Amino acid sequence: MGSLILVRHATTAASAAGRNLGQTNDPPLSDAGLELATALGGTLAAELAELPHDEIRLVSSPALRCRQTIGAIAVAVAVDPASVEIAPGLLEIDYGAWDGLTAEECEARDPELRAAWEADPHATACPAGESGQDVSIRSAAVLEPLEAWLTADRARCAIVVAHNHVNRVAMCRLLGWPMRDYRRRLAADPGAYSMVTFGGAGPVVRRYNVPGA
């Protein structure tokens, strides 16, 4: 069965501070994040050594923090960084007016909307931003063809580096769980990865939110 390794980018100053980081700004990884990305690359190289992978594709969100993370992975797994596929559909959720805020600041600014978003972030959009459903539709347009490619040959592997909301809605879809629960029931830590194999009766989750270092 073909293998998908779904990675959240390594640490940024915003993620370390618990602040929303969507599409408004494009900061680099922190120093700790660069170290984590390097360690993650070594961890994934060890994973690949145990997997059949005559063909491998590396796919990334265009955000700098994702490109830096997948660049470190590419070096570790001996793939030309120039071959990385950049997919705008994998960008993080557009937080709109909540970008750069903490959860507490969002609640103070928009208490009723925040409560609705916490109850169902898939159906509820951030102010002047996106909903989880918006993220799911555009990211699925990237991931579903990739999943079909993996299903066709067990000796294929894809490493995808994306974001918190992108990865959680993707995993919720693959697990067949109610999409409104993607934030409540799933975590996606910086520099962590999940592995799903495709083929046979359907997707099988082999790893979930494994620390990269």
Alpha-carbon distances of 183 from 167, 180, 203, 206, 211, rounded to whole Å:
10, 8, 21, 20, 19
The pLDDT tens digits for 80-127 are: 999 999 999 999 999 999 999 999 999 999 999 999 999 999 999 999
Secondary structure percentages of the chain, helix, strand, coil, to 5: 45, 15, 35
Task: Check pLDDT > 90 for residue 199.
Answer: no
- The rounded percent of the chain whose pLDDT value lies above 70 is 100
Q: How far apart are CA 187 and CA 47, in angstroms?
A: 21
CA geometry: angle at 5 spanning 152 and 209, to 5°?
140
pLDDT band at 154 (very low <50, low <70, confident <90, very high): confident
Q: Which of 9, 122, 163, 165 is catalytic?
A: 9
Residue recorded with tokens 């923090």: 65
* Beta partners for residue 194, in sequence order: 6
**pLDDT tens, residue by residue, 31-76:** 999 999 999 999 999 999 988 888 999 999 999 999 999 999 999 9
Cβ–Cβ under 8 Å, residues 85 and 176:
no
The whole-number pLDDT of residue 103 equals 96
From 161, 186, 158, select the one nearest 171 (Cα to Cα): 186
- Average pLDDT of the residues of the chain: 96
Has 9 been annotated as catalytic?
yes
Average pLDDT over residues 178-202: 95
Q: Which domains does the chain have, with CATH numbers?
A: 2-211 (3.40.50.1240)
Nearest to 101 by CA among 109, 93, 112: 109
Amino acid 128 reads: A
Catalytic residue among 47, 53, 92, 163: 92
212: helix, strand or coil: coil
Residue tagged 């370390």 (tokens): 16
Structure tokens at 114: 């925040």
CA nearest neighbour of 121 among 189, 182, 188, 175: 182
pTM: 0.96
pLDDT of residue 187: 96
